[in-house]
A = this chain, B = another copy of it.
Amino acid sequence: MDRIEENELTSFDSLAILEGLLFVAGTEGLTDKQIADVLEISESEVSSLCHTLAVKQQQEGRLFRVMQIANVWQLNTVPALTPYLRRLSLVPAPSSLSQAALETLAIIAYRQPITRAEIEEIRGVKSEKAIGTLIARGLIMEAGRAEGPGRPFLFATTPEFLDYFGLQSTSDLPPIAEIERQIRQNE
């Protein structure tokens, strides 16, 4: 009896950990290997664990679910939530952009597609919160992944961003190369 309970606890815990990890991973998702490494299980067990989690989420009536998309596992909302998201999208959210968000937006506009690490290198400070704000406001979006270790997400401005400024494409942004050159010379 004790043994069974212990196993149940362990299995329950792995599900909770798995769900927590997927929660933070967001749309980047996690691969079989990543999940297997963290939970110290074999890669072949990952799929079954994810399905167990999906069943648990369904049974508990949760409106987001683990699903496998393009070889990564990620948490996504289910269509039943859509009407509420539509309603939420119509509730006015705080509209002004912080200085940090504005800077981040400007960098993304001129240097897109760009990774978070590259943005942070240019700004010299962490920019996660600013990126979150810009995504939530529909000003930037994830646009593929960079090559290299970790294959981090690339960010780009949305079509709505261009529409707002009446631009056909980002190449219509006022040029900065000349100004940059002048700044460098003055330094």
Using CB atoms and an 8 Å cutoff, list the residues of chain A in contact with chain B.
12-13, 16-17, 19-21, 23-28, 30, 33-34, 37-39, 60-64, 75, 77, 81, 84-85, 87-95, 98-101, 103, 123-126, 128-130, 132-133, 135-138, 141-142, 150, 158-160, 163-164
Question: Taking the full assembly, how many copies of this chain does it contain?
Answer: 2
Nearest CB in chain B to that of A90: its residue: B24
With A75-B23, A128-B92: A38-B84 Cβ-Cβ less than 8 Å: yes
A85 to B132, alpha carbons, bound, how many Å?
A: 19
Name A28's contact: one of B26, B62, B136 (CB within 8 Å): B136
Contacts of A39 in B (CB 8 A): 84
**CB distance A20 to B160 under 8 Å?**
no
**CB distance B63 to A60 under 8 Å?**
no
Interface centre among A12, A23, A25, A85 (most CB of B within 10 A): A23
**CB distance B16 to A61 under 8 Å?**
yes
Name A138's contact: one of B25, B60, B129, B159 (CB within 8 Å): B129
Contacts of A129 in B (CB 8 A): 27, 138, 160, 163-164
Contacts of A101 in B (CB 8 A): 138
**CB distance B160 to A137 under 8 Å?**
no
**CB distance A20 to B136 under 8 Å?**
no
Contacts of A90 in B (CB 8 A): 21, 24-25
**CB distance B92 to A38 under 8 Å?**
no
A154 to B90, alpha carbons, bound, how many Å?
A: 16
